[in-house]
Amino acid sequence: MDVAIISAACIGSGQCTLLAPRVFTRREDGTAGVTMARPSKGQQRRAVKAAEHCPERAITII
């Protein structure tokens, strides 16, 4: 599983950092960044949940 964020689409709601804090981080400009592009098995479910709750659908999971 690979995780990425479409930076231009991120509005900085913070849902991803709340749901998967080991996978996502908040940058200085308030938008989200990825800290774990290939989440461990234990973090994959959290990353998927974060993608599902992203209001702008800025998170892609492959």
The residue behind tokens 């930076």 is 7
**pTM (2 d.p.):** 0.92
Q: Residue 33 is encoded by which pair of tokens?
A: 């960044």
With beta carbons less than 8 A apart as the criterion, state whether 5 and 57 touch: no
Q: Which of 19, 15, 45, 47 is nearest to 31 (CA)?
A: 15
Q: What does the block give as tokens for 41? A: 């098995």
CATH number assigned to the domain comprising residue 43: 3.30.70.20
Enter the tokens of residue 51: 């993608």
Digitized pLDDT (tens) for each residue of the chain, 62 residues in all: 999 999 999 999 999 999 999 999 999 999 999 999 999 999 999 999 999 999 999 999 99
Domain carrying residue 30: 3-61
Question: How many domains are there within the chain?
Answer: 1
